[in-house]
Amino acid sequence: MRSTITFILDNRITTIDFSKPGSPSPTTTVLNYLRSLPNHKGVKEGCAEGDCGACTVVLADSGPDGHLRYRAVNSCLIFLPMIHGKQLITVENLKSDTGKLHPVQKALVEAHGTQCGFCTPGIVMSLFALYKNQPKADSGDILTALSGNLCRCTGYQPIIEAGKNMFLPKAEDQFDRGAETLKKMLNSIPGEEISIQTDQQKYFQPVNLQEAIKIRTKYPKAYLLSGATDIALHITKKFETLPEIIDLSAIPDLQGFSRDDGYLYLGALADLTTLQPVVQKYLPALADMFSVYGSLQIRNLATLGGNLGTASPIGDALPVLMAYQASILLEGANGSREIGFDKFFKGYRLTDMKPGEIITRIKIPISSNGAIVRSYKISKRKDLDISTVSSGFRLQLDEQGKTREVVLAFGGMADRVKRAGSAENYLRGKSWERKTIEEAMKIIDQDFTPISDVRGGAEFRRVAAKNLLLKFWNETRNGM
């Protein structure tokens, strides 16, 4: 065990010993750490909750294929121990060895893509990650890369033009030239368990599942952390001190995905960006929901395990997984078990997890047996917004066009993600026609008592849920 973390900043190995007097706390965000340094003031705090992108930095590490992977992330949502074993890249690191602007910076200047400049460093870093990960990019790629960056004075057209021009042509940069050296530096950083204990906090970062279960058993009330896109808000917005944290982000066994016996197993700690290609192939409705899940910076951190563990009633992925008939695999000191989505959520942010258990994987049948699955999300804006109402629907018709199987799962309509059981029961065995759907829409009110909040009123939610069912019927009435 060690109470230190090691990462690479400014092409140098940097170590922080949390046991020394005057050291930052383990829940100090990367944003606040960088702002405390004399030469890294480019990173900005706009919202401290991952909504504006002004704090965007890039993390580089070795991907599963051995190649360097560059990920744009919100530094306001990352605790310092989460960057152990990675390279931290800020806007100050982009100038070349001879002091010239990076091609991304040069393109932004020439396209007049900046005015006040507050948001510009974050925009540069988002475009830089795109530049490093792809040989070229179209407008869709650029818009996706910028979906987590707000700019209130320039307008996005010149920024988008800069995103196109930076590839004309794509040039080698200092990161390409130093790639092998960086890999050696990253490989020199030991990947052993981190245990940080201060007067106010205990922060653990195990490197395998067995260690994690052992710590979880000893500290059953500790916060389980994966991407921190939700937990970090306790620090940045509520100014709380979290006494015990178990950071699971360094456990490779809980990442990635696999196929076996007709099932797809998604690692609970695999970030959504990593999972995107596989769900696009096997679970297109989940891929559709991923595309409007936060922003790219959020998806580079967020995990399905975190989405499940927080048990938010507006968790975007949960209704869709329910429609796919997914189940949750857990492990603890007393062994492993599997539980269906319908039984996992018990109430507002309450789950059926036993003391000492950890979510390890999500198990999903690959074959839909001819069923149609769709996902929908209603929010105030397309990108980087929380759902007002979300849904995951599943439909299978028999040879006579009658409903053999139906799942109507909703988020934002109750204290937890929940199925419209009464409406489902009404629809089974009936013809899939508009008159039947209109009756089922009325019955949805029997299953939910939504509330009014800043995202939408209770009546709006009721109407929206009904209209989503009508939309689903309209898209599937010809057996699509």
Amino acid (1-letter code) at residue 129 = A
Amino acid in the structure at residue 216: R
In a domain, 26, yes or no: yes
CATH number for position 114: 1.10.150.120
Distance of CA 132 to the CA centre of its chain: 21
Considering the domain architecture, whether residues 183 and 52 belong to the same structural domain is answered as: yes
Residue 312: φ, ψ to 5°: -70, 140
pLDDT of residue 196: 96
Same domain, 195 and 324: no
pLDDT at 98: 84
| Closest C-alpha among 194, 209, 243 to residue 82 | 194
pLDDT digits (tens, 9 = 90+) for 157-193: 999 999 999 999 998 999 999 999 999 999 999 988 9
Shared domain check, 302 and 242: no
Give the end of a domain, one of 123, 138, 172: 172
The pLDDT, as a whole number, for residue 67 is 87
- Overall number of domains in the chain: 3
- Is 478's pLDDT higher than 90? no
Q: So what's the pLDDT on residue 99?
A: 85
Q: Which domain holds residue 73?
A: 4-92+179-247
Based on the domain organization, do 294 and 364 belong to the same domain? yes
Question: In the predicted model, is pLDDT for residue 318 greater than 80?
Answer: yes
What is the identity of the amino acid at 78?
I
Least confident of 11-15, 139-143, 365-369: 365-369
Same domain? For 222 and 271 the reply is: no
CATH of residue 67: 3.10.20.30
Residue with tokens 């989505």: 341
Tell me whether residue 447 is in a domain.
Answer: yes
Is 97 a domain residue? no
Token couple for 221: 């009330």
- Looking at the fold, whether 287 and 360 belong to one and the same domain comes out as yes
**Is 264 in the same domain as 373?**
yes
- The yes-or-no verdict on residue 262 having pLDDT over 60 is yes
Cα distances (Å, whole numbers) of residue 214 to 217, 317, 351, 406, 431: 5, 29, 21, 41, 53
Q: What is the pLDDT of residues 337-370, one digit of tens each?
A: 999 998 999 999 999 999 999 999 999 999 888 8
Instruction: Kindly state whether residue 116 falls inside one of the protein's structural domains.
Output: yes
pTM score:
0.94
Tell me, yes or no, whether 241 and 262 share the same domain.
no
| Residue 112 in domain | yes
pLDDT at residue 404, rounded to an integer: 96
What's residue 16's pLDDT? 97
HEC string for 370-403 = CCEEEEEEECCCCCCCCCCEEEEEEEEECCCCEE
Q: Is 218 strand, coil or helix? A: helix
Write down the pLDDT at residue 368: 81
Same structural domain, 121 and 146 = yes
Final residue belonging to a domain, choices 147, 172, 197: 172
**End residue of a domain, out of 220, 247, 274:** 247
- Assign 6 to helix, strand or coil: strand
In a domain, residue 98? The reply is no
Q: 149: Cβ–Cβ under 8 A, 6 or more apart, which residues?
A: 52, 53, 54, 56, 119, 122, 123, 126, 295
**140 lies in the same domain as 261:** no
Task: Assess if residue 466 is contained within a domain.
Answer: yes
Q: Identify the pLDDT of residue 342.
A: 87
Residues of 432-441 as b/e, b for ≥16 C-beta within 10 angstroms? beeebbeebb
| Residue corresponding to tokens 């829940």 | 27
Give the helix, strand, coil percentages of the chain, each rounded to 5: 35, 25, 40
DSSP class of residue 82? G
Q: Specify whether the CB–CB gap between 416 and 315 falls below 8 A.
A: no
Assign residue 289 the CATH number of its domain: 3.30.465.10
Percentage of the chain surpassing pLDDT 90? 90
Assess whether 317 and 236 both reside in one domain: no
Q: What is the pLDDT of residue 391?
A: 98
Please name the residues in contact with 64: beta carbons below 8 A apart, sequence gap of 6 or more.
256
> What's residue 480's pLDDT?
52
Q: Using 50, 70 and 90 to split pLDDT, how confident is the model at 295?
A: very high
- The answer on pLDDT for 135 being more than 60 is yes
Whether 303 and 366 map to the same domain: the answer is: yes
Condensed to tens digits (0 to 9), the pLDDT of residues 388-436 reads 999 999 999 999 999 999 999 999 999 999 999 999 999 999 999 999 9
